[in-house]
Amino acid sequence: MSKLSTTLAAALLAAAPFAFGSGSGPMSGGGDTGGMTSAPHMTPQQQAARSYNAGLNHKKRAQEFEEKAAAAKDDKERDKQLAKAKSQYEDSIDDYKKAIGYDMTSYQAMNEMGYAYRKTGDYEMAVKSYNTALAVRPNFTPAIEYRAEAFLAMSQYEQVKDSYLALVRTDQDQAAALMRALEAWLQTPSHRGSRPADASAATLPTRASAGREPRCEGVR
């Protein structure tokens, strides 16, 4: 593991606790993902897997609450379900930190922690988490795509463009996912019909150009 990735992982573990679909799945060897009681007979990798899978369980519950929020008939019920979802994401961050503490090469936990931070609205910590995952595994394209969504939320359009260009060359599915995220972002009430002030920093190749040498066009 590189010195950079070790330093970034340590920084994430030392960060203050926790503050709004992902490219990694459950790890094997983790056993029961219930209570996080000490298990000295387990290897660090097994304990990492156990904590990681517990985080995924919290993520699953959070997504269930988000679905209920989407189906809510009034704002009060919607806000109630979203608050429950946020609490589950915060719990998942705790579990991912434990997983990284046991195994500082667990780019999957770093990636999922970035996702959870992004879903709680802590975009800066999300980017740091994705950077840590990419320091361990630079070609892990789901982290590149999700990091770009965090950049988008932070209005860092140049970084969004660079991420898209990288994905177009390496992972067409993730490039398409980022394009869908951008289109959804442009349709939100606060951005609908708008255009970033720095249009040159927010230009992405059209979907039709994917797979060829990208040609930048203005976002509309």
Lowest mean pLDDT among 16-20, 47-51, 57-61, 161-165: 16-20
Report the alpha-carbon distance of residue 143 to residue 171 in Å, rounded: 12
pLDDT tier for residue 170 given thresholds of 50, 70 and 90: very high
| Domain ranges across the chain | 3-124
Q: Is 101's pLDDT higher than 90?
A: yes
Stated as kind and residue range, the H or E segment containing 182 is helix 172-186
| Whole-number Cα distances in Å, 26 to 22, 23, 54, 56, 108 | 11, 11, 9, 7, 9
Inter-residue contact 137 to 107 (CB < 8 Å): yes
| Residues 6+ positions from 45 with CB-CB distance below 8 Å | 29, 102, 103
- For residue 39, the model assigns a pLDDT of 54
Report the alpha-carbon distance of residue 125 to residue 113 in Å, rounded: 9
Inter-residue contact 163 to 133 (CB < 8 Å): no
Q: Is 216's pLDDT higher than 50?
A: no
Inter-residue contact 153 to 118 (CB < 8 Å): yes
Report the alpha-carbon distance of residue 166 to residue 168 in Å, rounded: 6
Match 């203050």 to its residue by tokens. Answer: 16
Report the alpha-carbon distance of residue 143 to residue 113 in Å, rounded: 11
pLDDT tier for residue 21 given thresholds of 50, 70 and 90: very low
- For residue 40, the model assigns a pLDDT of 61
State the chain's mean pLDDT as an integer: 79
Match 């960060």 to its residue by tokens. Answer: 15
| Residues 6+ positions from 9 with CB-CB distance below 8 Å | 100, 104, 110, 132, 136
What percent of the chain is modeled with pLDDT above 70?
Answer: 68
Amino acid at 80: K
